[in-house]
A and B are shown apart, each in its own frame.
Chain A
Amino acid sequence: MTKLKNLKKSTKSNLITFGIVILFYIVVQILSGADLLTSSFSGQLVPICAYVVLAVSLNLTVGILGELSLGHAGFMSVGAFAGTLVWVLLCETAPAWLALILAFVVGGIAAGLFGVVVGVPVLRLSGDYLAIVTLAFGEIVKNFMNACYLGYDSTGIHFSLKDSASMGLADDGVVLINGAMGITGVTKASNFTIGIVLVLITLIVVLNLIHSRAGRAITAIRDNEIAAQSIGIQITRYKLMAFITSAVFAGLAGVLYSLNFSTLVAKKFDYNTSILILVFVVLGGIGNIRGSVIAAAILTVLPELLRSMNDYRMLIYAIVLIVMMIFNQSPQMIAWRKRIAERFAARRAKGKHPTKEVG
């Protein structure tokens, strides 16, 4: 009986999450149909979707698996470069929808493979050491992509890690990745609908994973690795499962993000971006998927809303960040908020049923 109730509760909660996303989509579509949206807000819709996917996927690693990852932008970068390369190569020849799907598939797979490469050795570590190794992987990706020169001509593919001259391209050659300049002249392909579809797919997969048998095994590992092992849960397998799923979606988000801009540079996917995604996760509540969705959306919009503050914009953003963390996470503040909430609840109860009140 209680089991049924629990199940219902989680299903209900999931439905609310989907509801919020779909409602957001409908509201935005109506407003944009009525031409009521500012360009500023419509310009942020795709990045919002990308950040939501990133936050949800990182929450899988941080909240559900319980391992701190500081290199999420690295997976995003791998996905973005792989996907964008496919798109740039195919968008002229293949039908747009096919090229786009292939871009997403390749981006996701590339990031997933990279997740395996990182995950297999790294998941043996734990805690802050795991965090630093993921950070290191993220920085390696950035550094590598920054020094990466790729092009092709009639003789084949040319590649160099030094500079564009040492690629030795013929005159008719086409430069695909030009080091720090990255990939330029990308035809934009992302739009809000694709973004929302990706958000929904991410939510479906992640929420199903969490509430499946595998998900329970993963949370068991998070809560106590040794105990989980003792009851026969295959630690490495489930850890990798969560980690790779997380990487795949980060890659997909990377493709979505990069196809929204005409230029893609490796610099964007640095440690600060990883931290930014982590901020979404922590502020939305560790392990709370709906929280991640909402926090990612709000914190993406917030710096834009603060534009009228001019020079003080980022200062205020920093202060808001600190205050929100203390307000949300400090035990004293949580106790204080509870007291206030109780007082309100009591007052409301008093107002409604003045006779029924019991101590």
Chain B
Amino acid sequence: MKKFVSAMLAATMALSLAACGSTADTSSEASESTSTAASTDSTAAESGATGEAASGTPIKLGGIGPITGATAVYGTAVKNGEELAVNEINAAAGYTVFDWKFEDDEGDAEKALNAYNTLKDWDMQVLVGPVTSTPSLSVGAETVNDNMFMLTPSASAEDVANCGDNVFQMCFTDPNQGKVSADYIADNALGTKIGVIYDSSDAYSTGIYDAFTTEAEAKGLEIVTAEAFNSDNKSDLSTQLAKCSDAGADLVFLPIYYTEASQILVAANKSGYEPTFFGCDGMDGILAVEGFDTSLAENLMMLCPFSAYGEDETTKTFVSAYEEAYGSTPNQFAADAYDCVYAIYQCVQAGKINGDMSASEICDALKTEFTTMSFGGTTGENQTWDASGMISKAPKVYVIKNGAYELAA
């Protein structure tokens, strides 16, 4: 036993030492999509076909998100969205604009920091991630120290943007979503008695819930009951629903992800309870749940920047390319991630950053660029950021009709 363990230790030490010695040159072996495109660098630089000032040196783009564990489904969507955008950009430009690598964080702060450090060893220049709030907070504090530009597609806690002036969000903040939802419900008189079911173990859900209750009170909406569940007891949500029903709620606000929401809709159908359901951006994706009877989601409303059924050209291109590549309809996680990469590409095209700059120089350039530019993508036109890194874009409320999203009047 002892011998075995010491042998293991020796091996580990050797491995870590070997890793130390070779950071500079061999690290890109491990990345996923980089090696394929890397060889085209030189030719593209020589031909200079695009006529841009941009040099052929690729910008190293790192992504972090959960691709294993309980929240893997959201991380995978982000990963796919980023991958798709990077591949499209590289193919369209004719040379490798972005070198891209994605690391798993299992939705955990410690693992996220490990992933971030691994990407730093790979000489990452821009970070697109992490996906969920707690890992983003832990990584965000580090990026401030390193002056590394961080653009998170979906970590919507307000504290994330407040980490530092180098941290930007592609999604609405939680309080903003809660407030806008309450305003919308009040202004359109969607319900008089409101029930809420939220995930008390989830930062996203509690963040929206808190802001929603405050604003609802200000707007004179009556919240008759607020029921929580957590990640350990979410298999049975019928009691929470029954309590909303018993309290006479005619609108149930669901600031939760679509995985649990689909379960609530099934349970409501079983018990014959038919209030208006209203969700936030986490709800997007519910129609793509395999095996889910989409008729149950009829008339479901949600506040969401993205609709896979959108008619504009950007969205159509994105949705069809995504469906072809990954065999499923993209949700707002994928769309936000896709937009993140394109937003950074916009800065590349404007000649503000290139692969020869250091991560810190890129960060400074992007900070000024992001606070002054306006970006149009799959999640909306004319998106702008304020100095704190929070986004401003037009909120849209969709309602599900005949298995597709329609803009609510």
User: In the complex, A touching B, CB below 8 Å?
Assistant: yes
Using a CB–CB cutoff of 8 Å, the interface residues on chain A facing chain B are: 27, 31, 36-44, 47, 139, 143, 146-147, 163-165, 178-182, 184-185, 188, 257, 261-263, 265, 267-268, 284-285, 288, 290-291, 294-295, 297-298, 301-302, 304-305, 307-308, 310-311, 313-314, 327-328
Q: Is the interface of B mostly helix, strand, loop or mixed?
A: helix
Min C-beta distance of A190 to chain B, whole Å: 12
Min C-beta distance of A180 to chain B, whole Å: 5
Min C-beta distance of A93 to chain B, whole Å: 21
Contact, CB under 8 Å: B113 / A38: no
**Cross-interface CB contact of A38 among B20, B67, B140, B157, cutoff 8 Å:** B20
B23 within 8 A of A: yes
Given contacts A184-B137, A184-B159, A298-B12, contact A164 B210 (CB under 8 A): yes
Contact, CB under 8 Å: A304 / B118: yes
A302 to B9, CA, bound (A): 11
Given contacts A146-B200, A268-B108, contact A285 B1 (CB under 8 A): yes
B365 within 8 A of A: no
Contact, CB under 8 Å: B140 / A180: no
Contacts of A290 on B, CB cut-off 8 Å? 2
Determine which residue in A165, A268, A305, A328 has the highest number of CB atoms from chain B within 10 A of its CB, and name it.
A165
A43 to B108, CA, bound (A): 15
Knowing that A147-B228, A301-B12, A307-B30 are A-B contacts, what are 19 other residue pairs whose CB atoms are under 8 Å apart, sorted by A's residue number? A38-B16, A39-B120, A39-B121, A47-B110, A146-B200, A163-B213, A180-B203, A257-B110, A261-B109, A261-B113, A265-B134, A294-B5, A301-B16, A305-B15, A305-B16, A305-B19, A307-B115, A307-B118, A327-B4
| B13-53 contacts to A (CB < 8 Å) | 13, 15-17, 19-21, 23, 29-30, 32
Min C-beta distance of B23 to chain A, whole Å: 6
Identity of the chain B residue whose Cβ is nearest the Cβ of A32 in the assembled complex: B20
Min C-beta distance of A279 to chain B, whole Å: 14
- Mind listing 12 A-B residue pairs with CB under 8 Å? A40-B117, A41-B16, A44-B114, A179-B200, A180-B201, A181-B206, A182-B134, A185-B159, A262-B137, A291-B5, A297-B9, A298-B5
**Cross-interface CB contact of B226 among A163, A185, A308, A327, cutoff 8 Å:** A163
Contacts of B4 on A, CB cut-off 8 Å? 327-328
B103 within 8 A of A: yes
Contact, CB under 8 Å: A147 / B200: yes
Contact, CB under 8 Å: A165 / B114: no
A185 to B9, CA, bound (A): 36
Contact, CB under 8 Å: A268 / B109: yes
Contacts of A304 on B, CB cut-off 8 Å? 114, 118
Top 8 closest A-B pairs, CB basis?
A262-B141, A308-B30, A43-B117, A39-B117, A263-B137, A40-B117, A39-B120, A36-B20
Min C-beta distance of B235 to chain A, whole Å: 16
Contacts of A327 on B, CB cut-off 8 Å? 4
Given contacts A40-B121, A181-B157, A184-B137, contact A313 B68 (CB under 8 A): yes
Identity of the chain B residue whose Cβ is nearest the Cβ of A307 in the assembled complex: B118
**Cross-interface CB contact of A41 among B2, B20, B206, cutoff 8 Å:** B20
Determine which residue in B115, B201, B207, B210 has the highest number of CB atoms from chain A within 10 A of its CB, and name it.
B201
Identity of the chain A residue whose Cβ is nearest the Cβ of B12 in the assembled complex: A298
| B119-151 contacts to A (CB < 8 Å) | 120-121, 133-134, 137-138, 140-142
Min C-beta distance of B78 to chain A, whole Å: 15
Contacts of B116 on A, CB cut-off 8 Å? 43
Identity of the chain A residue whose Cβ is nearest the Cβ of B13 in the assembled complex: A27
Identity of the chain B residue whose Cβ is nearest the Cβ of A146 in the assembled complex: B201
A297 to B103, CA, bound (A): 22
B281 within 8 A of A: no
A241 to B115, CA, bound (A): 39
Contacts of A180 on B, CB cut-off 8 Å? 199-203, 205-206
Min C-beta distance of B130 to chain A, whole Å: 12
Identity of the chain A residue whose Cβ is nearest the Cβ of B112 in the assembled complex: A261
Given contacts A38-B20, A181-B206, A307-B103, contact A294 B8 (CB under 8 A): yes
